[in-house]
Amino acid sequence: MNDLIEFLYKIRNKPVLYFGNRRNLTHLSNFILGFLIGREGTNKEIEGSTNWFTNGSFQDFVAKKYQITFSQSWDNIIEFHSSSENEAFDLFFKLLDEFLGK
């Protein structure tokens, strides 16, 4: 399992350590982007993570699942199909599991 996915599962298990009492998908999305950008300048590659996040395969997966044919980010699609911030946060991890085949 690559670093980013491993770290996301740590966040999933204890989100309060990273986001306090507010589980917010936008914050998580920004965190993922920061993680990836932070690693770009290092010698340590994030194996596989650019495939699923920056190259659009997770984006494509979410858009296809919800039959979205116009340009919307994966986090906006998930938030639209959720009734609360907590539900969107949990739905992200459910979709991530489905995407990874877990």
**What pLDDT does residue 65 have?**
93
Radius of gyration of the chain (CA): 13
pLDDT in tens, 32-83: 888 877 777 666 655 554 456 655 688 889 999 999 888 888 999 999 999 9
Distance CA 3, CA 49 (A): 8
**What pLDDT does residue 55 have?**
58
pLDDT in tens, 92-102: 999 999 998 87
Which sequence spans correspond to the domains of the chain?
3-100
pLDDT in tens, 2-33: 778 888 999 999 999 988 888 889 999 988 88
**What pLDDT does residue 62 have?**
92
